[in-house]
Structure 1
């Protein structure tokens, strides 16, 4: 066992060693992280997994290309097809026939892609500051996230972009994410995920309105009003297009809903998902 809490269990997913955090028992709940530098499932979800694991069997994987999951040698650019295939393979490897999903930003886009391609594998959905629609134009905030160059000052400024209240950006978070971003080979791998021109990757992450409007899944959409990475207007449009959806907007909140509004986020999500049968 590693002393690093970001390294949990490992499962072989079609030849890809996949790192994941797990806790709890009962109904499966899969939590999909965002796409920032130095991100891992643990870094993204550690504040809420203790709450969710009291009601669900939580699985938080490092998705393909991120964290401590193996980075394929044969990678020639990433695609939504490959991200979805890896996530379905992860479920198959662990014997998860169907699960609820919480997706953060990029993780929300991945969740929507999976739900529209494999609807029978998905129960309830929670989108949090989610990408995933073609009309989303690149923001300066997201440009800075995907164009990050490693330095402690750059990481500190980037983390302050994520949070509306800069006092929430503790030096421990900055240092942890910075150290993760400079692991041997980490920046080269991260830079290969969303190389410029970057607008094309928002298109790659998108699901068409026709497919979204056909989704039967109960969907809770959560967004911070002051989010400068993914503007709240994206979630308003999701709510307009996804038929079985409801929208909750937090004021005085940026892109880190699960951190900035942790208690209220948990209070919204748990009863929403518990009333949905798999």
Structure 2
């Protein structure tokens, strides 16, 4: 199966609210929507393409490029919080594919989107996997924004190879993962003016008081009844691991797994363990 699962062979398209969105589809079984994080050159495939062969053995995997990222279109104007724009895209994807519900797996910003979808469309979400999710953890011990977010913002101001490398270094525990090919591919994708504009505009909505949520995600967690698995790298410099403490106590049906020798990219640095944890959690009791 793995030889057939290329970015090209799995590419599909769907139109939601006038936006043409790309997603990658493979496998059969319970539907699993995978939501990438933010950052220079990010896409659904960049985040989860390497995990697809294993996960597609158990699930109908749908890896979405969220609006403005990867090859997906974006609204002309971001007129509300980006998390809501992305959450509507997830529901639109389920509607277009005629899926009454699905498991959601979200990394970083994608974890925030998955949480928002579950909070406001609970019947459409089965189980949740949140991997170092944004907006859900509370970093009580370190500075805000975190080192990783500061390096990301630096890149959006001046998109150079040095700055994308500085950002990538905050994402991992073992810098040997950062090959020249990976760096060059990320820089090429991130240097597209449209991609830079989309990233800047999405982040601008988070800082705009007019788009602020009345109640932040972390303060709503007690009302989320779905079964949740949280995965966190012990050495995460983007969403530090101590941020997991509050949601692990507030979420009524949550488990937390902490991975040593691992930064923000659990799915890459602890690939096999990540895939086992996700598969075991989503198939338990079925």
TM-score (norm 2): 0.88
Deviation, structure 1 residue 83: 2.1
What displacement does 1:147 show?
3.6
Structure 2 residue aligned with 1:169? 178
> Which residue of the other structure, out of 72, 83, 88, is the alignment partner of 1:85?
88
- Tell whether 2:226 aligns with 1:238: no
Structure 1 pair 183/7, CA: closer, same or farther in 2 (3 Å)? farther
Q: Determine the structure 1 residue equivalent to 2:39.
A: 36
Unaligned runs of 5+ in 1: none
Deviation by residue 1:247-267 (Cα, 9 ceiling, x = unmatched): 110111100100000011111
Deviation of 1:65 after TM superposition, in Å, equals 2.1
The counterpart of 1:141, out of the listed 145, 148, 153, is: 148
Q: CA deviation at 1:8?
A: 1.6
Query: Offset at 1:81?
Result: 2.5
CA contact (8 A) 1:228 1:254 kept: yes
Quote the Cα distance in structure 2 between the aligned partners of 1:176 and 1:30.
24
Q: Please say if 1:190 is aligned against 2:199.
A: yes
Task: Write the distance in 1 (CA, Å) between the matches of 2:205 and 2:147.
Answer: 14
CA-based RMSD: 2.5
**Aligned residue for 1:54?**
57
* Equivalent of 1:253 in 230, 249, 262: 262
* 1:207 aligns with one of 213, 217, 229: 217
- What does 1:4-43 align with in structure 2 at a 5 Å threshold? 5=8, 8-43=11-46
Moved more, 218-227 or 88-97: 88-97
Aligned equivalents of 1:13, 1:60: Cα separation in 2 = 15
**Shift in Å, 1:77:** 5.4
Residues 52/7 of structure 1: CA separation in 2 closer, same or farther (3 Å cut): closer
Q: CA separation in 1, counterparts of 2:175 and 2:207?
A: 27
Partner Cα separation in structure 1 for residue 197 and residue 226 of structure 2: 37
Counterpart of 1:112 in structure 2 is: 115
What TM-score do you get using the length of structure 1 for normalisation?
0.91
Over 3 Å counting, the alpha-carbon distance change for 1:79 and 1:157 in structure 2 is closer
Structure 1 residues 201 and 180 mapped into 2: Cα distance closer, same or farther (>3 Å)? farther
Contact 1:7 1:68 in 2 (8 A): no
- Structure 1 residues 256 and 31: CA distance shift in structure 2, 3 A: same
The 1:273/1:47 distance shift into structure 2, 3 A limit, reads same
- For residue 249 of structure 1, give the secondary structure of its aligned residue in structure 2: strand
**In the alignment, is the contact (CA less than 8 A) between 1:138 and 1:202 conserved in 2?**
no
Tell me if the contact between 1:52 and 1:270 (Cα under 8 Å) persists in the aligned partners.
Answer: yes
In the TM superposition, residue 61 of structure 1 has moved relative to its aligned partner by 0.6
